[in-house]
């Protein structure tokens, strides 16, 4: 998920993950890591960059009705875990005004959205979110 306590340097370093879901695939055993990590469970340090697919299935989700002040206008916030070709990714679900109609296993797509911004004058942080293709309105 896109970190909610971002600073400009941290955001800049994570742009490949936040913008394009860039993961690392182990050259030895083929396991894919998102977010990336330095050493694979198999012990290898050799990875290739891969982008995760932009469609997947919702595994589980939760609805937050009490949220921090930065996100009051987006209440209720929905967070879910999706399966993107075998890789589980946590993210915010959007364009889902009626979460009671949302169900596990719903098909979702990865979308590019504003995540937060530093006041009216600071930087706008962009990143990925998840959007159900249908069924929650």
Query: Does residue 8 interact with another protein by CB under 8 A?
Result: no
| Site mask for another protein (CB under 8 A), range 42-71, x = bound | ---------x--x--------------xxx
Query: Does residue 129 interact with another protein by CB under 8 A?
Result: yes
32 vs 77 by CB, closer to another protein: 77
Provide φ and ψ at 29, rounded to 5°: -110, -10
Task: Report the alpha-carbon distance of residue 98 to residue 101 in Å, rounded.
Answer: 6
Q: Which of 74, 86, 88, 103 lies at the binding interface for another protein (CB under 8 A)?
A: 74
* Burial (Cβ within 10 Å: 0-12, 13-18, ≥19) of residue 127: buried
Secondary structure E strands in the chain: 22-26, 32-33, 47-51, 55-64, 77-84, 87-93, 107-117, 124-132
Query: Does residue 137 interact with another protein by CB under 8 A?
Result: yes
Q: Which of 39, 41, 114, 135 lies at the binding interface for another protein (CB under 8 A)?
A: 114
Region near another protein per CB under 8 A, out of 23-31, 38-46, 56-64, 126-134: 126-134
């Amino acid at each position: 998920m896109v970190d909610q306590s971002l600073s400009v340097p941290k955001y800049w370093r994570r742009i490949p993950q936040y913008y394009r879901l860039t993961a690392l695939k182990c050259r030895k055993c083929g396991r894919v890591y998102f977010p990336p990590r330095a050493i694979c469970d198999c012990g290898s340090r050799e990875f290739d960059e891969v982008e995760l697919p932009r469609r997947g299935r919702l595994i589980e989700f939760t609805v937050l009705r009490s949220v921090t002040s930065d996100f009051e206008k987006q209440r209720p916030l929905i967070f879910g875990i999706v399966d993107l070709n075998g890789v589980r990714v946590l993210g915010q679900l959007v364009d889902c005004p009626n979460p009671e109609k949302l169900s596990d296993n719903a098909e979702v797509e990865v979308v590019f959205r504003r995540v937060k911004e530093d006041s009216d004058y600071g930087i706008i942080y962009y990143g990925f979110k998840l959007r159900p293709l249908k069924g929650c309105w």
